[in-house]
Amino acid sequence: MHNTETYLAKDTKMGHYIKRKTRGRIFETLFGIGVCLSLLMGLGVLLTLIIDVWIDGSARLNWQFLTSFPSRKPEEAGILAALVGSLYLIILTAGIAVPIGIGAAIYLEEYAYQNRLTRILEINIANLAGTPSIIYGLLGLELFVRFMRLERSLIAGALTMALLILPIIIIAGRESIRRVPSTIKQGALALGATKWQVIKDHILPMSFPGILTGVILAVSRAIGETAPLIMIGALTFVAFLPEGLKSPFTALPIQIFNWVSRPQKGFHENAAAGILVLMAVTVLLNALALYLRDYLQKKSGIKSL
């Protein structure tokens, strides 16, 4: 009798195990199908938009379009001022935001005490990463344009865009630094290295690929932003190149926005061609950053996490 009850209990447990395993496989299959369908839908929409933009703007892609200033005649208009302004803006933005963002990530992870102030900073940084870009435009207008009297200049735009991408760089930097094993830190300290030597020689090289990935995502967002630049008063018609940090400027998103708002069909074709150029610039900058990441990783000889 006892053996019969034991066998029945084992059969019951086995039945429950088989049911759970079957349900798990069904859920895994359905989840995989849903992910694949979502991915295919997203790629399909993106491919459709790219094809539509290519059909509208490919005829305008030529050397004259890339080397000409804006014009009231769509067939003579070009994107030279917007293209150069975007490159200057991105270089300045990255030069301001990247050192500050990485420094803030190092401080919060390695030096700051875990207290109420630190927790408040962490919450605010996370909230700022999801703040709409128009809010940063209003902040830049009040702080840099009016209070600091930088006017509607290239440096004002770069500072505003730096505020926009700074939370993303800080969060990515902290996550990358946090993934470095504590045993490496403790081993280096045990051998007599100072805290800064541990950070410089061990933590940063191992976390650099992750940090650079965050920088790439942040800069890619900054390239296509329009609302903050509109709020600080970036010009829509610029027939000259920036000559200094306080020069007026325009950018590719602003120029595209200006052309799309025009009623003439020729300007809409120019906008489509500008979108293609903006996409090409984004891809090239991302490819350059990825190459730099892999090159520095191989040169350092330290395996990334």
pTM: 0.80
Mean pLDDT for the chain overall: 82
Q: Quick one: 71 and 193 in the same domain?
A: yes
Pair (38, 171) in one structural domain: no
Q: Are residues 157 and 172 in the same domain?
A: yes
Distance CA(199)–CA(93), nearest Å, equals 25
> Would residue 305 count as lying in a domain?
no
Helices 204-224 and 80-106 pack at an angle, to 10 degrees, of 140
> First CA to last CA across the chain, in angstroms?
58
Residue 117 belongs to some domain of the structure: yes
Position 266 in a domain = yes
DSSP state of 69: -
Whether residue 88 is found in the same domain as residue 13? no
169 contacts 214 by C-beta, under 8 angstroms: yes
At what angle are helices 252-260 and 204-224 packed, to 10 degrees? Answer: 20
83 shares a domain with 14 = no
pLDDT of residue 302: 53
In sequence order, the 6+-apart residues with CB closer than 8 A to the CB of 154 are 85, 88, 89, 92, 242, 244, 245, 246, 247, 248, 249
Region for 169 from its dihedrals, namely left if φ exceeds 0, alpha if ψ lies in -120 to 50, beta otherwise: alpha
Q: CATH number of the domain at 269, please.
A: 1.10.3720.10
Query: What is the domain count for the chain?
Result: 2
Tens digit of pLDDT per residue, the chain (305 long)?
555 555 545 556 666 667 777 777 887 888 888 888 888 898 888 888 888 888 888 888 888 888 888 888 888 888 888 888 888 988 899 899 999 999 988 888 888 888 888 888 888 888 888 888 888 888 888 888 888 888 888 888 889 999 999 999 999 888 888 888 888 888 888 888 788 888 888 888 888 888 888 888 888 888 888 888 888 877 777 777 888 888 888 888 888 888 888 888 888 888 888 888 888 888 888 788 778 777 766 765 555 45
Compute the distance between CA of residue 234 and CA of residue 249 in angstroms, rounded to an integer: 6
| Displacement of CA 227 from its chain's centroid (Å) | 16
Q: What is the reported pLDDT for 243?
A: 82
Can you read off the two tokens belonging to residue 168?
């993303």
Tell me: do 114 and 248 sit in the same domain. yes
- Rounding to the nearest 10 degrees, give the CA dihedral for residues 178, 183, 185, 186: 140
pLDDT of residue 13: 60
Cβ proximity of 140 and 159 under 8 Å: yes
At residue 99, the pLDDT reads: 92
Assess whether 213 and 81 both reside in one domain.
Answer: yes
pLDDT at 249: 84
Helix (H, G, I), strand (E, B) or coil at 33: helix
**Mutual angle of helices 80-106 and 252-260, in 10-degree steps:** 130
Instruction: Determine the structural domain holding residue 186 and report its residue range.
Output: 63-300
Question: Are both 56 and 77 inside the same structural domain?
Answer: no
- The DSSP 8-state label assigned to residue 251 in this structure reads -
The residue written with tokens 């919450």 in the block is 123
